[in-house]
Amino acid sequence: MRKIRVLVVDDSMFMRRMISDLLSQDAAIEVVGTARHGQEGLEKARALRPDVITLDVEMPVMDGVTMLQQLMQELPTPVVMLSSLTTEGAEVTLKCLELGAVDFITKPSGTISLDIYKISSQLIEKVKAAAQARVPTAPTATRPASVPFLSQPMPRRVDSEAPLVVIGASTGGPRALNVVMSSLPAQLHAKMLLIQHMPEGFTRSLAERLDRNSPFTVREAQGGEVLQPGVAYLAQGGKHLKVERGGKLMLTQDPPVHGVRPAVDVTLLSIAQNYSGKVVVAILTGMGNDGAAGVRALHAKGAYTIAEDESTCVVFGMPRAAIQTGCVKRVVPLDKIAEAITEGVMELCGKSQAA
């Protein structure tokens, strides 16, 4: 079986050695080279053609962002960013994900992490997933001046009857969420929850980025809020997001589900149990099967269910698992997800109005 060939790019000799040693512990991975900065990283990438590159952000000569931009233009390759857990680090990491990086992992204690062994299993898992990923090369969408697919006005509804839209994503999700949120029509009368697998410290920056591009107000959930039309609440990194009776949001630090926190299934199953309104669910790109159980439960209660088509997924795991339940109504590529959500809201509003 062919090994996954990895190039490690980091300006610290210690980090290059540690990352190489950690990855080499797995029989399926071979570190084929290392580089001290982005310029050398590009040269090594051209020569070695690795399957995956691990890339530090802050480096001399050429930083990680600049290398990533050039790499994606010249030689699109799956990249896993190594990020510092700071506000600035979160902003740069999210920019890298928009530019085409497949995923990221946070160094446990700064630029030179003597305890990087703590994330060895996560690093190996992310590199393996990246090796199977589709590299997103198209530029991130921006909100169009008008949305042609909203062919008729939204039915007038009182706020309590506005449908709830829930979007779940993992690997490749930040970029996918930006595409979807920037394409939604401003007239869409709906409440919204966004669940993105992400560690603590990154979701506030993600919410701010989505807010800038979306007609919805996007906020990081704090717990205690009541769902409102026109507002999208993003699950906080490192915490599960649940919906209680009355549409009130609750954050918990219950154990991870499917190895992640926040988990899409935790949110969806709480909605199935506690929420009586109309629901639209969309499962986007991501590794694993998070969201499938929730899709099944909400489908049984009449939810309008959507999954991203394999052709645009960075990783097709979560949408595939949802589709395999037999409970997904629409399977569409990323650039059609916003349209499918809008059609779902319109259909549910029509049904409830007819009822």
Sorted by where each starts, the structural domains of the chain and their CATH numbers stand as 4-131 (3.40.50.2300), 159-354 (3.40.50.180)
Question: Which of 37, 189, 197, 258 is flagged as catalytic?
Answer: 197
Catalytic-residue membership of 258: no
Q: What is the identity of the amino acid at 33?
A: G
- The share of the chain scoring above pLDDT 90, in percent, equals 77
What angle do helix axes 38-48 and 64-74 make, rounded to 10 degrees? 30
- What confidence tens digit (pLDDT) does each residue in 98-139 have? 999 999 988 765 555 556 777 788 899 999 999 999 987 654
pLDDT for the residue numbered 297: 98
Question: Which of 10, 11, 56, 290 is flagged as catalytic?
Answer: 290
pLDDT for the residue numbered 182: 96
Entry pTM: 0.90
- What confidence tens digit (pLDDT) does each residue in 331-347 have? 999 999 999 999 999 99
Give the β-pairing of 240-243 and 249-252: antiparallel
pLDDT for the residue numbered 325: 97
pLDDT for the residue numbered 350: 80
Residue pair 305/299 in contact by the 8 Å Cβ criterion: yes
Q: CB 331: neighbour CB atoms within 10 A? A: 18
What number is the average pLDDT over the span 183-204?
A: 94
- What confidence tens digit (pLDDT) does each residue in 230-246 have? 999 999 999 999 999 99
* Residue appearing with tokens 């590299």: 135
Does residue 150 have a pLDDT over 50?
Answer: yes
What number is the average pLDDT over the span 172-194?
A: 95
Between residues 157 and 241, the one the model is more confident about: 241
How many residues comprise the chain?
Answer: 355
pLDDT for the residue numbered 119: 77
- What confidence tens digit (pLDDT) does each residue in 62-98 have? 989 999 999 999 999 999 998 875 567 788 889 999 9
Question: Which of 83, 84, 113, 170 is flagged as catalytic?
Answer: 170
Full DSSP string of 204-219: HHHHHHHHHH-SSEEE
Question: In this structure, what are the phi and psi dihedrals at residue 44, rounded to the nearest 5 degrees?
Answer: -65, -35
DSSP state of 265: H
Averaged pLDDT score across all residues of the chain: 89
Spatial distance between the Cα atoms of 98 and 127, rounded to a whole number of angstroms: 18
pLDDT for the residue numbered 136: 74
Catalytic-residue membership of 189: no
Spatial distance between the Cα atoms of 267 and 192, rounded to a whole number of angstroms: 12
Spatial distance between the Cα atoms of 54 and 78, rounded to a whole number of angstroms: 9
State both tokens at 247.
Answer: 């549409």
Spatial distance between the Cα atoms of 323 and 32, rounded to a whole number of angstroms: 37
SS3 content of the chain, % helix, strand, coil (to 5): 40, 20, 40
pLDDT for the residue numbered 138: 52
User: Residue 243: beta bridge partners?
Assistant: 249
Catalytic-residue membership of 299: no
Give the β-pairing of 217-220 and 164-169: unpaired
